[in-house]
Amino acid sequence: MKIGFHTDAFNSTYKSFEDCLKWAQKNGVHFIECGLIDGVSWIHGLGYQPHVALYEDPELLRQKMAGYGVRFSQVDAAFPLSGKDGPLRGVPYVMKSIAWAKLAGCDRVDTTDGLHAPEGLKDPQAMDLMKSEYEQIIEVAAAHKVVVNIEPHGYFTTRPDMMERMLAFCDSPYLRMNMDTGNTFIAGQDPVAFLKRFIGKVSHVHIKDVSESLAKAVRGGMTGIAVSHCALGDGVNADNIKQCLAVLRDSGYTGVLSMECEGQGGPMIEQSLAWLRRTLKELGIPEDA
The mean predicted confidence, pLDDT, of the chain is 97
Give the pLDDT of residue 289.
82
> How far apart are the C-alpha atoms of 41 and 222, rounded to whole Å?
28
Structure confidence at residue 82 as a pLDDT band (50, 70, 90): very high
- H/E element, 90: none
> How far apart are the C-alpha atoms of 106 and 255, rounded to whole Å?
13
Buried b / exposed e across 121-141, counting CB within 10 Å, b at 16+?
beeeebbebbeebbeebbebb
Other Cβ atoms less than 10 A from the Cβ of 88: the count is 10
Mean pLDDT score, 279-284: 98
Encode pLDDT of 223-280 as tens digits.
999 889 999 999 999 999 999 999 999 999 999 999 999 989 999 999 999 999 999 9
**What is the set of domains in the chain, with CATH numbers?**
2-282 (3.20.20.150)
Percent of the chain with pLDDT over 90: 98
Q: Give yes or no for residue 53 having a pLDDT over 90.
A: yes
Q: Which amino acid is at 253?
A: Y
Give the pLDDT of residue 227.
86
User: What is the per-residue DSSP string for 143-179?
Assistant: HHT-EEEEPS-STTTTSHHHHHHHHTSS--TTEEEEE
> Residue 86: left (phi > 0), alpha (psi -120 to 50), or beta?
alpha
- Give CA 130 to chain center in angstroms: 19
Mean pLDDT score, 56-74: 98
Other Cβ atoms less than 10 A from the Cβ of 29: the count is 22
Encode pLDDT of 119-131 as tens digits.
999 999 999 999 9
> How far apart are the C-alpha atoms of 194 and 201, rounded to whole Å?
11
pTM, full prediction: 0.97
Encode pLDDT of 85-140 as tens digits.
999 999 999 999 999 999 999 999 999 999 999 999 999 999 999 999 999 999 99
What distances in angstroms separate CA 51 from CA 23, 34, 133, 192, one per listed residue? 14, 5, 25, 30
Give the pLDDT of residue 175.
98
- Give CA 162 to chain center in angstroms: 19
Q: Give yes or no for residue 192 having a pLDDT over 90.
A: yes
Give the pLDDT of residue 233.
98
Give the pLDDT of residue 226.
85
With residues binned 3-state (H G I as helix, E B as strand, rest as coil), the percentages for the chain, rounded to 5, are: 45, 15, 40
